[in-house]
């Protein structure tokens, strides 16, 4: 989003000296992004396993790559940030899928993540609401 906003603000007369928007709004935002990225990467195999289990009619290789990445980030947030309600995370990542992936990604990501969340709650691996 920041990249798109920056590009829209480009002024031809500034040439290579374009003002760039900051990557993060503040230090807290930057720390959140770093922590989310680390958790997503470190637990990639586990998250892919959960996604694969909940897309039984789909081979994971057939799922849009962007959808897999979005769901991995969502799972990292859901499982690693106890102060963020599950519903907030789900809504956020479904919206991201609608914007940055395919036309059907929003409902696909929603259904898959909902199944994973229910599975994790039944197994006692997720206790927050």
CA 108 to CA 64: how far, in whole Å?
A: 10
Average confidence (pLDDT) over 115-129: 94
The two structure tokens encoding residue 69: 């990445």
CATH (residue range 43-122): 1.10.940.10
Residue 56 has pLDDT above 90, yes or no: no
CA 4 to CA 20: how far, in whole Å?
A: 11
Residue 118 has pLDDT above 80, yes or no: yes
Number of C-beta neighbours around residue 90 at 10 A: 18
Domain boundaries, the chain: 43-122
Average confidence (pLDDT) over 9-28: 87
Helix (H, G, I), strand (E, B) or coil at 126: coil
Place of tokens 């031809």: 12
Structure confidence at residue 22 as a pLDDT band (50, 70, 90): confident
pLDDT for the residue numbered 18: 85
Residue 77 has pLDDT above 80, yes or no: yes
Mean pLDDT of the chain: 92
Number of C-beta neighbours around residue 8 at 10 A: 7
Write down the pTM of the prediction.
0.86
CA 120 to CA 125: how far, in whole Å?
A: 5
Average confidence (pLDDT) over 71-78: 98
Per DSSP, the residues of 39-52 read: HHHHTHHHHHHHHH
């Amino acid at each position: 989003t920041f990249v798109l906003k920056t590009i829209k603000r480009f002024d031809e007369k500034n040439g290579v000296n374009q003002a760039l928007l900051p990557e993060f709004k503040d230090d807290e935002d930057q720390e959140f992004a770093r922590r989310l990225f680390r958790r997503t990467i470190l637990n990639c195999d586990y998250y892919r396993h959960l996604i694969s289990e909940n897309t039984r009619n789909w081979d994971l290789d057939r799922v849009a790559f962007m959808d897999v990445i979005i769901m991995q980030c969502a799972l990292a947030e859901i499982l690693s940030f106890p102060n963020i309600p599950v519903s907030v995370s789900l809504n956020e990542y479904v919206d991201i899928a609608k914007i940055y992936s395919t036309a059907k990604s929003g409902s696909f990501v929603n259904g898959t993540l909902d199944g994973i969340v229910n599975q994790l709650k039944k197994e006692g691996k997720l206790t927050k609401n």
